[in-house]
Amino acid sequence: MRNNKKIVHGTMQVFISGSILFAMLVMAASCGGGSTATEEIDLEVIENQVLLLDENVQKEIEREPKDSTGKVKVVPRTINEDGTLSVVPAGDWTSGFYPGVLWYMYELTSEEMWKAKAVAYTETLEEQQYNGSNHDVGFRMYCSYGNALRLTGNEDYIPVLIQSAKTLIGRYHESVGCIKSWDFNDSVWQFPVIIDNMMNLELLFWASEQTGDPVYREIAISHALTTMKHHFREDYSSVHVVDYDTITGEVRKRNTHQGYSDESAWARGQAWGLYGYTMTYRFTKDDRFLHQAEGIADFLLANLPEDGVPYWDFDAPVIPDEPRDVSAAAIISSALYELSTYSENGAVYKSEADRILDNIWTHYRSAKGENFGFILDHSVGNKAGNSEVDVPLIYADYYFLEALTRKNNLKK
């Protein structure tokens, strides 16, 4: 269950002083959090897994090139309940992660083979620059085309990303001050905004820097500030969904869609928040966002299990007999590496990122040659909906490789 100690910053009341918290985290880091010895991350093992995944994706596409709705299948997502490999169309919210995995493999190895594969899969998503059906255009396009531009400098990718940003801001509502996340359940929600949406702001910040047009940045900052005001509790835990009135901009309700309860702290949602506010500080250098990221980080570090890999919800009812969510752990580790470069508590955050990443690799990776080639196992997509529970998920692999890349870059 979630720790009831409040860890807050700024002018809010402090229940644990920053110095005491810092000392607690240093002690945990120096002792490895009490976890067992970890194994060194082996890049060759990772390469062999991703090569196997690529082979199995092609086999599945050859076997059945379209999904049940007639859409062409292009990228892996997870393992289905019947044990088959889930390969999804370009419009799936996760479609950008596999190209991103391949781009990180290229960055980690400098092997042209990975670049060629990354280019091929990335370009299957080109039409998604116009897909404004939800907020996930940022996930789809920045994890794929964004990494492609970063690693190749190919300017042909720039207009695709700019159009993607235009598509995303089409979901912004000025009265609310946020980008609308979803269009479904309109009998329940008027204007739902989920904490996940913080991740898509990176595309907007990039677009302002690229074009010189401030509108993308202004919308991103507005969304971040509004979310900071209404999604977060005093202890820096976050609700999943906030629904707004489109006329007044006032909050109609706060609830969950994928967490245990409306009052609980859904693990991946907390990870999205940490990553999102750390990234927002990178682009703005606004201390409000740094303090927010530090608050979320401190909440997580005070409440994570011993090995740093959270249960799917911090308030799930039968912990420790609840599924872990490795995808949340990978996101947290990646975010902590970046936060460590900004914060006065950077040494602690870096040590915790190392510990989480090493424990993921040692205790939660797929066995050699198993799980169709997914790198990691034991993630949770939507436990509340009994969907994708204790399975590999492609975005867990993506953020694991991003965290490993960030770790390596910090060494340099």
Backbone angles phi, psi at 65, to 5 degrees: -70, -15
Return mean pLDDT, the chain: 93
- Catalytic annotation present for 196: yes
Q: What is the pLDDT of residue 10?
A: 33
CB 313 within 8 A of CB 270: no
Measured CA distances, 305 to 214, 218, 309, 311, 312 (Å) = 42, 38, 6, 8, 11
- Catalytic annotation present for 397: no
From 54, 196, 298, 313, active-site residue: 196
Q: Which CATH architecture has domain 18-32+41-411?
A: Alpha/alpha barrel (1.50)
From 136, 307, 354, 377, active-site residue: 136
Q: What is the pLDDT of residue 36?
A: 56
What digits encode the pLDDT tens for the residues 162-175? 999 999 999 999 99
Regions in the chain scoring below 70 on pLDDT = 1, 3-36
Write out 130-143 in H/E/C secondary structure. HCCCCCCHHHHHHH
Q: What is the DSSP letter of 179?
A: E
Q: What is the pLDDT of residue 186?
A: 87
Show me where the domains of the chain are located.
18-32+41-411
Q: What is the pLDDT of residue 28?
A: 42
E-only strand ranges, 308-407: 379-382, 387-391
Burial of 249 (0-12, 13-18, 19+ CB in 10 A): middle
Residues contacting residue 120 through CB under 8 Å, at least 6 positions apart: none
Q: What is the pLDDT of residue 242?
A: 98
CB 103 within 8 A of CB 151: yes
Cα separation, 16 vs 21, whole angstroms: 6
Tell me if residue 325 falls in helix, strand or coil: coil
CB 270 within 8 A of CB 237: yes
Output the pTM of the full model.
0.93
